[in-house]
Amino acid sequence: MEETDVIAHLIGGVLTPRRVNLQERDQELIGRAGRGDADAFARLVEPHLASLHRLAVAMLARDRTAEAEDVVQETLLAGFRGLGGFAGRASFRTWLVAILVQQVALARRKAVRWRFLRTEVEPAAGDDFVKRADARMDVMEMLTRLTPEHREVLVLRELEQMSYDEIAGVLKVPAGTVESRLSRARQELRKRLSEMTP
């Protein structure tokens, strides 16, 4: 990967030095996609598609993928339409993640037709904490039990490995809020997992 630019990155009102990797290929594709080339946009987002889908599923915290697929689709359509607004201050991926977070919030507002699945989780075999936390359904169940605010910070941190400043920029909240929400989210998860102890 060719690192072409080092720029000041404005996130949440805090000026943070950030190295942005904009490959020549990406720049060319962004230019073409901005002129309405759907092929170019599809090639541009292809490397991020699986991650965006993973984020959407985790943020929705549901055991169904249909809504997550809708959210990904709306995210990419919004990105395609709004590519002119991408100024390159953040990485293209962070820009897409910020759109995805907005789309998840929109989907959440349509909560009338949502029914949160509160499935009872089978305790995993053994009492080893790591084994229990490793089980896939446990992760989904844990996420489902969190509030949307706690869930989104945790997902952005753990799945996207974003820094607190980056999360603050995406969610438009102070970095201190990110820190306290993460701390509470983890305390909550520990509490849930300890309740699952046989």
Partner 1 sequence: MSGCNMTPQLSAYLDGELPAAESAAMAAHLKSCGECAAAYQEMNAISAAMQAWQPEPMTDAAHRRLRSALDNAAIRQLRRVTEALSAVAAMLALVAILSSSSSESNASIPPIINLPQWEKTALRMDDSAQNKPVEIATAEWVVSDLSTGGGGHARE
Asked whether 169 and 175 are in contact (CB, 8 A), the reply is no
**Minimum gap (Å) between residue 183 Cβ and partner 1:** 4
Q: Site for partner 1 (CB under 8 A): which residue of 19, 25, 172, 191?
A: 191
Supply the DSSP string of 56-120, one letter for each residue.
Answer: HHHHHT-S-SHHHHHHHHHHHHHHHHTGGG--SSS-HHHHHHHHHHHHHHHHHHTGGG-----PP
**Minimum gap (Å) between residue 120 Cβ and partner 1:** 19
Cβ distance to partner 1 smaller for residue 84 or 112: 84
Does 145 contact partner 1 by CB under 8 A?
Answer: no
Asked whether 193 and 142 are in contact (CB, 8 A), the reply is yes
Restricting to residues 7-66, name those near partner 1 by CB under 8 A. Answer: 36-38, 41-42, 49-50, 53-54, 57-58, 65
Q: Rounded to whole angstroms, how far apart are CA atoms 65 and 57?
A: 7
**Minimum gap (Å) between residue 50 Cβ and partner 1:** 7
- 15: Cβ contacts below 8 Å, ≥ 6 apart: 8, 9
Q: At 195, is the secondary structure helix, strand, or coil?
A: helix
Q: How many residues bind partner 1 (CB under 8 A)?
A: 48
Q: Rounded to whole angstroms, how far apart are CA atoms 190 and 122?
A: 17
Q: Site for partner 1 (CB under 8 A): which residue of 26, 59, 71, 80?
A: 80
Residues that bind partner 1 (CB under 8 A): 36-38, 41-42, 49-50, 53-54, 57-58, 65, 68-69, 72-73, 76-77, 80-81, 129-130, 133-136, 138-140, 142, 154-155, 157-159, 163-164, 179-180, 182-183, 186-187, 189-191, 193-194
